[in-house]
Structure formats: structure tokens, C-alpha cells
């Protein structure tokens, strides 16, 4: 995508990889993995490590719903769609039917959770997440295909990323299996909110937070894992079109040794000042530089970044200040399988 950053006297194309808010209509240049995503599908069982030969399959979504073992096909229950304006969703919250909740004590393991009617939750004013920011979140999407099946995009990767973040933030975390099963249960319980094909996706927001009361600075005594969902359209108002970024030279998103490499909630409020100023000037978002040298590209407020020049695709390395995006990883896998140098 075009931006205001110029590297080496050249104006590169920027590929935005929405690790924070992946979009079903990601504008990729100069290559696209559209051709890989529609005819392939992945089961939700544990996948082996990706190789360059299996990279194309990584771009496929994992179907959920009823599984017919004999024919190895996936089917989805038919359901009426919610009565909303599917043509004008935007990226705004819509209250849905159910959320998934499970709790555990510090040092314990999460038991099986349960679906509850969507609604407000109760927290102590002294909850660890409110006082000390002990919390993580994830973001992934479910898509409805033309045949009615509902698909997820590599949810096990989000589960693994949450577990890494939980270790950094001194929190227990659901297992990968618990995470994926909870996502599946929440999506199927809210299947009438999954947009029709081409109209958007069902955004899935898993939360992990220190919900127990704590006064002194310490890990909370209790933790809550919660998933809620909302139908969404494109994140950026430009839709499937280039966006304008402004390079920020003074404010920084993350520092070496900090928490920029995990999806902790505190990482995001810190970008609001620069982002608000950028939008007031007509830009879509902010492109941050490293905080040490103030000249190397790191990340956009809400997504990873790629620079494309000829047959070479470059992206900042994962060294603790950049979030390891699921879409980022998938683009790298697909690009290498297509002969690009990454």
C-alpha cells in the first residue's frame, strides 16, 4: 500500500497484515493468495508444522459445524440470519446472543467453561485487570461460505499466541484445545450473526484477564477467560483500497524488553494519541519506528507491515517489540511457496 514513508529513495508498496484485526478482504500486492484460500480447507485438529510445500494450505480457513467422518466433508446447520443491515456493517460492535466464560485460580488450570447469554460482567473495583492492566486479548474471524459452511482461520495460532502472552503476564491460560473448542462453541451458538458470503465476517474476541481482587502489585488470585463475538465489515473505512499512513518519529508503540511482542491490553491505549492526531490530519493510521534508532520500520497501530520490491518481500523481524501476527505468518508461508524471497 502507498504510504508517506520512502525507503532508499524509492516509494515502496506497503502490504498491511492485520495481525490485530485480520480482514477477509486483505488487499495484497503484488501477489494474492485468493486462489489458495477457496478450494482448500483445514481440519481443526492439531496441524503439523508448515513447510513451504504445505504453505498454500495455510491460507485456507478451518470449517466448523457437523463433521461427517465417512465422507470427510463438513456441513453447517441452516439458520436464519439476524435482522440487521448486512450491507453497512462497518467495524462497530453489535450485541449478539451468547458469550463463553470460564474461570480459574492463580496457579490452577482452567476447567470446562460454559456458554452464557451475552451481557455485562461483574468485576471488583480492585480487579487486577482494572488496576494493573493484567489482561490479554485475541482477535480472529469466522466466515460463511457460499455452501453455508462456517470457517475459521488458523485458530490454533491465536491459542498459542495467547499462551505465550499469558506466560509473560503471569497468568494461567486455556490449553490450545480448550481455546479452539471454546471459539467453535461460541461461533456456532451465534451462527445467525455470521454475515452472508461477501458481506463481512464474525469477529471473535477472546479475553484473558485478572478478574480477582488485588490491592498490592501482584498477580490476581483469579482469572477469567471470556469470548464474545460481533459481525463486522472492513476495519478501515477505505475498504479494499490503499490507506494513507503517517510515520511517527517521537511517540513509540513498544520498547525492547517490554510487552510489544504480546497482545496485552496496555499496548493499545498508548497508541491512541498518535492515532487520533494522524486521523485529524486525514491519515488512516500511524506507522511506528523503533524507539532506539528512530529510523527502522516496526509496526502500524493495528497491523504488521510488509515492504515489496520486485521479488523480495521484507517485514520487520520478531524480536520482542512486534506482535507475531497470524496473518503475517501466513503471508510469509504463502509468499515463499510462490517463489518470493522473504
Does 219 share its domain with 264? no
The residue among 176, 197, 232 that closes a domain is 232
Residue 38 pLDDT: 31
Last residue of a domain, one of 232, 258, 293: 232
Q: What is the CATH number of the domain that holds 173?
A: 3.30.470.10
State which of 232, 259, 289 marks the end of a domain: 232
The residues assigned a catalytic role are 263
For residue 293, the enclosing domain spans 245-338
**Are 249 and 222 members of one domain?**
no
Tell me whether residue 84 is in a domain.
no
Residues 70-113: pLDDT tens digits?
222 333 555 689 999 999 898 899 999 999 999 999 999 999 99
Query: CATH number for the domain including 278?
Result: 3.20.10.10
Q: What confidence category does residue 46 fall into, taking pLDDT thresholds of 50, 70 and 90?
A: very low
Burial class (CB in 10 A: 0-12, 13-18, 19+), 326: buried
**CB-based contact 96:229 (threshold 8 Å):** yes
Distance CA 265, CA 263 (A): 6
What is the per-residue pLDDT across 122-171, written as a single tens digit (0 to 9) for each? 999 999 999 999 999 999 999 999 999 999 999 999 999 999 999 999 99
Read off the pTM. 0.79
The reply to whether 4 falls in a domain is: no
Q: How many domains does the chain have?
A: 2
**Rounded CA gap, 46 and 212, in Å?**
32
Amino acid at each position: 500500500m502507498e504510504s508517506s514513508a520512502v525507503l532508499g529513495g524509492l516509494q515502496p508498496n506497503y502490504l498491511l497484515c492485520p495481525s490485530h484485526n485480520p480482514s477477509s478482504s486483505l488487499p495484497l500486492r503484488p501477489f494474492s493468495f485468493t486462489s489458495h484460500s477457496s478450494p482448500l480447507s483445514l481440519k481443526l485438529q492439531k496441524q503439523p508444522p508448515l513447510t513451504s510445500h504445505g504453505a498454500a494450505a495455510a491460507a485456507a480457513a478451518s470449517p466448523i459445524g457437523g463433521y461427517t467422518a465417512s465422507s470427510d466433508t463438513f456441513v453447517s446447520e441452516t439458520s436464519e440470519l439476524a435482522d440487521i443491515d448486512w450491507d453497512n456493517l462497518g467495524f462497530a460492535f453489535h450485541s449478539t446472543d451468547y458469550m463463553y466464560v470460564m474461570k480459574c485460580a492463580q496457579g490452577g488450570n482452567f476447567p470446562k467453561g460454559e456458554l452464557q447469554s451475552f451481557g455485562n460482567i461483574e468485576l471488583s473495583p480492585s480487579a487486577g485487570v482494572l488496576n494493573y492492566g493484567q489482561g490479554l486479548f485475541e482477535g480472529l474471524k469466522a466466515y460463511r461460505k457460499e455452501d453455508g459452511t462456517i470457517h475459521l482461520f488458523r485458530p490454533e495460532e491465536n491459542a498459542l499466541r495467547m499462551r505465550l502472552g499469558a506466560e509473560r503476564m503471569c497468568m494461567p491460560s486455556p490449553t490450545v484445545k480448550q481455546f479452539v473448542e471454546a471459539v467453535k462453541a461460541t461461533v456456532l451458538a451465534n451462527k445467525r450473526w455470521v454475515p452472508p458470503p461477501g458481506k463481512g465476517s464474525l469477529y471473535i474476541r477472546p479475553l484473558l484477564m485478572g478478574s480477582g481482587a488485588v490491592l498490592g502489585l501482584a498477580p490476581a488470585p483469579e482469572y477469567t477467560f471470556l469470548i464474545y463475538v460481533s459481525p463486522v465489515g472492513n476495519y478501515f473505512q477505505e475498504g479494499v483500497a490503499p490507506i494513507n499512513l503517517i510515520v511517527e518519529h517521537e511517540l513509540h508503540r513498544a520498547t525492547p524488553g517490554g510487552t510489544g511482542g504480546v497482545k496485552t491490553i496496555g499496548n493499545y491505549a498508548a497508541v491512541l494519541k498518535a492515532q487520533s492526531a494522524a486521523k485529524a490530519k486525514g491519515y488512516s493510521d500511524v506507522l511506528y519506528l523503533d524507539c532506539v534508532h528512530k529510523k527502522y520500520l516496526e509496526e502500524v497501530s493495528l497491523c504488521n507491515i510488509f515492504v515489496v520490491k520486485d521479488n523480495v518481500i521484507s517485514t520487520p523481524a520478531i524480536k520482542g517489540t512486534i506482535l507475531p501476527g497470524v496473518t503475517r505468518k501466513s503471508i510469509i508461508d504463502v509468499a515463499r511457496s510462490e517463489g518470493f524471497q522473504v
